[in-house]
């Protein structure tokens, strides 16, 4: 009997903890919420927003230790060698019309395999938007996920239910390595019960109803902003209001959503005032970016005090940072070179992850050998521990330096600070 994509694999099982460890440590903070919403009695199909290329799948993979299979766009399977690697990684292709009519015919095989995955109670993950976009919004969803759900329900819904799990990923920053990541699993959509109670006989209509329901449920799980002409201004307001407030990622998301609701209500009740405010916000944002000031600095009442403690930390950590920078030169230099050639900036974190994933183990092994060959074992052991954390320290030190410089600039930009105060965001929202 041919091996299924979801079947256990020894090599995959050996590599998985290593991959998950690297993924988790690609973020300063990593949270998973809503696990209590996952049913135990049926087949699970996860519909997830898609905002950060390969990192979305890696983040989902590391959310727990159960088996998972992913579905990705078919054009990345063109190369036979790449296709074998993706199959090993438990990724199935799904093709679109743009890939050609001949390619689309292959979807039947992928959809049958996907239904079999759900039948075997292995978690199946799809990104129904079909492509990534670095925005806190959702694009129109394709039908692939829903065809799988419908077929699975037809095949074994009488034995156990089929569920679609609305899932959202929210990042602190789409482009900066070692930002934050949060996964939020929502209330399941019971496809089996849906078809038991629907009075609509047309399958296409039912699929559209499920699409609308999934869209609305995912939108409840992260900072969702309508994708219209005011998106950029609203997102800037949300960041300025909530970027620096204390609490975990989930609480921050709830505050973000509350701010979005207030802004949308303001726009509805006072459209002209809102239009004027949005224009002023965008003008301020343009100037802030021109002055290279982080939005985090604008949230601080006493930026000078913040810059002083950051400077003290930077000064104390300078020797470790300098050593880390030298040791990890191959990683950050390679990362910079590859990023400079990217056409799609959304792949920035994927590149950072990939380069570190490949090169750091080599640096760590070689460095450890050199330490134990040249130092007494207590010193070598201490050096190994410092080496182990060196790249994370290097990245975090660079980020703290950026924020320190931003705080200093913000302290002395009196005109810009008055422009910010004139927005009166704290009073309005």
Q: What is the pLDDT of residues 152-178, one digit of tens each?
A: 999 999 999 999 999 999 999 999 999
| 225: pLDDT strictly greater than 80 | yes
- Cα torsion 223, 225, 231, 236 to 10°: value is -30
CA distance 111 to 144: 8
Q: Which alpha helices (H) appear in 375-389, and where do they start and end?
A: 377-388
| 100: pLDDT strictly greater than 60 | no
| 103: pLDDT strictly greater than 70 | no
Contacts of 16 (CB under 8 A, 6+ apart): 61
CA distance 75 to 253: 34
Span 10-219 CATH architecture: 3-Layer(aba) Sandwich (3.40)
CA 288, 292, 295, 299 torsion: positive or negative? negative
pLDDT tens per residue, range 326-380: 999 999 999 999 999 999 999 999 999 999 999 999 999 999 999 999 999 999 9
Domain boundaries, the chain: 10-219, 231-291, 303-412
Distance of CA 55 to the CA centre of its chain: 6
Q: Is 357 helix (H, G, I), strand (E, B) or coil?
A: helix
Percent of the chain with pLDDT over 70: 97
Max mean pLDDT among 239-243, 300-304, 320-324 falls in 320-324
End-to-end CA distance of the chain: 62
CA distance 62 to 19: 8
Q: Is 26 helix (H, G, I), strand (E, B) or coil?
A: coil
The pTM for the full model equals: 0.92
Contacts of 215 (CB under 8 A, 6+ apart): 138, 141
Of 70, 159, 191, 187, nearest to 123 (Cα)?
70
Burial track 402-427 (b if 16+ CB lie within 10 A, e otherwise): eebbbbbbbbebeebbeebeebebee
pLDDT tens per residue, range 230-258: 999 999 999 999 876 778 999 999 999 99
Q: What is the pLDDT of residue 82?
A: 80
CA distance 236 to 241: 9
CA distance 178 to 292: 20
CA distance 303 to 275: 30
pLDDT tens per residue, range 176-189: 999 999 999 999 99
Average predicted confidence (pLDDT) for the chain: 93
Average confidence (pLDDT) over 260-284: 97
Of 419, 123, 90, nearest to 281 (Cα)?
419
Average confidence (pLDDT) over 106-130: 91
pLDDT tens per residue, range 399-417: 999 999 999 999 999 999 9
| 98: pLDDT strictly greater than 70 | no
């Amino acid at each position: 009997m041919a091996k299924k994509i979801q079947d256990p694999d020894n090599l995959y099982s050996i590599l998985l903890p290593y991959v998950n460890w690297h993924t988790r440590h690609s973020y300063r903070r990593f949270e998973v919420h809503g696990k209590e919403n996952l049913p135990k009695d049926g087949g699970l199909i996860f519909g997830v927003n898609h905002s950060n290329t390969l990192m979305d799948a890696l983040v989902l993979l590391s959310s727990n230790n159960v088996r998972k299979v992913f579905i990705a766009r078919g054009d990345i399977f063109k190369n036979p060698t790449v296709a074998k690697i993706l199959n090993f990684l438990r990724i199935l292709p799904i093709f679109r019309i743009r890939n050609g009519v001949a390619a689309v015919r292959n979807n039947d095989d992928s959809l049958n395999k996907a239904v079999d995955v759900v039948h075997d109670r292995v978690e199946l993950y799809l990104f129904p938007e079909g492509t990534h976009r670095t925005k806190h919004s959702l694009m129109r969803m394709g039908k692939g996920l829903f065809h799988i759900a419908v077929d699975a329900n037809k095949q074994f819904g009488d034995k156990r239910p089929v569920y679609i799990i609305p899932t959202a990923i929210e990042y602190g920053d789409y482009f900066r390595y070692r930002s934050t990541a949060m996964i939020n699993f929502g209330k399941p959509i019971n496809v089996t019960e849906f078809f038991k109670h629907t009075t609509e006989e047309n399958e296409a209509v039912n699929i559209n109803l499920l699409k609308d329901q999934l869209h609305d449920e995912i939108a409840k799980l992260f900072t969702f902003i309508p994708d219209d002409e005011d998106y950029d201004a609203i997102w800037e307001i949300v960041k300025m209001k909530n970027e620096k407030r204390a609490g975990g990622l989930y609480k921050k998301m709830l505050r973000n959503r509350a701010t979005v609701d207030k802004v949308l209500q303001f726009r509805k009740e006072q459209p002209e005032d809102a239009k004027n405010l949005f224009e002023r916000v965008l003008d301020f944002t343009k100037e802030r970016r021109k002055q290279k000031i982080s939005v985090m600095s604008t949230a601080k009442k006493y930026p000078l005090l913040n810059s002083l403690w950051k400077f003290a930390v930077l000064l104390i950590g300078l020797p470790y940072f300098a050593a880390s920078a030298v040791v990890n030169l191959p990683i950050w230099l390679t990362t910079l070179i590859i990023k400079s050639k990217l056409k799609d900036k959304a792949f920035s974190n994927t590149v950072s992850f990939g380069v570190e994933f490949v090169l750091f183990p080599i640096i760590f092994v070689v460095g450890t050998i050199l330490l134990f060959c040249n130092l007494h074992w207590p010193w070598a052991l201490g050096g190994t521990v410092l080496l182990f954390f060196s790249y994370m320290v290097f990245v975090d030190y660079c980020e703290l330096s950026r924020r320190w410089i931003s705080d200093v600039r913000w302290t002395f930009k009196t005109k810009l600070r008055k422009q910010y105060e004139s927005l009166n965001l704290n009073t309005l929202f």
